[in-house]
Amino acid sequence: MCRWLGYLGSPIEPRELLYDPERSLIEQSRRHAPDMAVPNGDGFGLGWYGRREVPAIFHSATPAWGDRNLHTLASEIFSPLFLAHVRAATGTPVQETNCHPFAWGRWMFVHNGYVDGYEGLRRDMLLAVRPDLFPNVKGTTDSELLFHLALTFGLEEDPIGGLERMAGFVESLGAAAGIAEPLQMTVGVSDGERLWAARYASGPVVNTLYYSADVESLRELYPESERFAHFGADSRVVVSEPLAPLPRLWHEIPAGTALVLGKGQAEQVPFRPRPPA
């Protein structure tokens, strides 16, 4: 199981979420989850939006907790929107091209989960990728192909619809191959202005995903805390696992649900996979 987080709001240093909280993403990367035998030490990535329309991305195949360059970058960058990911490889090589976030133009994508039977489905997944997108596939992961399939099926015009058609396509391939539960995923995707997230699996077990309460509510709940003082009213965080054990700070996103975050917007909508036309 990988872990990821997304932030949208007033500009902050990524360090404030990657390192500072009690259960920061870096701290999560070094400890085992209840159902994992190993930590998330198979690489990491940080992607952020700044002066350009397209994101800047830093990848490494080393464990996140030991990388001094990441700590330096996360303390110097000042960004209103970023995605971070720590990886636990599920059968594909540990290399930089397999580290998230993946990017195309102004879009970024992170994934926690897997495609069951990926080795048998990979060829059909690859062949379905739109020709102009194909050269952008640099690695060997199912996650990178999920992103390019979502782009192929309309992510840029309709983010939730593109993700639903991607999921439906993978499930149709799995059904044809006799795979009962082909897809496990929480995903995050952004165009630099908004952040979309989805939590879904073909079976009953679904990886966790949470988002933070609005900042004004947090200030009312914890008036003595200074940690929320400089966060803007629209600031939100999406996480695989909560970063701090504060009651009523984190809302779990239900299975089969997508989340749309924008300035002043936090909306949950049903996530319904369907095969592309």
pLDDT in tens, 239-272: 999 988 877 889 999 999 999 999 878 999 999 9
**How high is the pLDDT of residue 30?**
78
Residue 124 lies in a domain: yes
Cα dihedral 222, 210, 163, 81 sign: positive
The rounded distance, in Å, linking the Cα atoms of 18 and 27 is: 8
Residue 276 lies in a domain: no
Residue 277 lies in a domain: no
Residue 275 lies in a domain: no
Residue 241 lies in a domain: yes
Overall pTM > 0.85: yes
In this structure, the strands spanning 236-239 and 210-212 are: antiparallel
In degrees, rounded to 5, the angle at the alpha carbon of residue 188 between the alpha carbons of residues 138 and 259 is 155
Count up the domains in the chain and report the number. Answer: 1
Going through 87-212 in order, the beta strands assigned E by DSSP cover 102-104, 107-115, 183-190, 195-201, 210-212
**How high is the pLDDT of residue 36?**
53
Residue 183 lies in a domain: yes
The rounded mean pLDDT for the chain is: 90
**How high is the pLDDT of residue 234?**
80
In degrees, rounded to 5, the angle at the alpha carbon of residue 211 between the alpha carbons of residues 183 and 145 is 30
**How high is the pLDDT of residue 257?**
98
Q: What is the domain-level CATH number for residue 227? A: 3.60.20.10
Residues of the chain with pLDDT under 50: none
Q: Which domain holds residue 80?
A: 3-270
The amino acid occupying position 91 is: G
The rounded distance, in Å, linking the Cα atoms of 237 and 250 is: 9
The rounded distance, in Å, linking the Cα atoms of 144 and 166 is: 12
The rounded distance, in Å, linking the Cα atoms of 213 and 232 is: 12
Q: What is the largest CA-CA distance in the chain?
A: 57
**How high is the pLDDT of residue 188?**
98
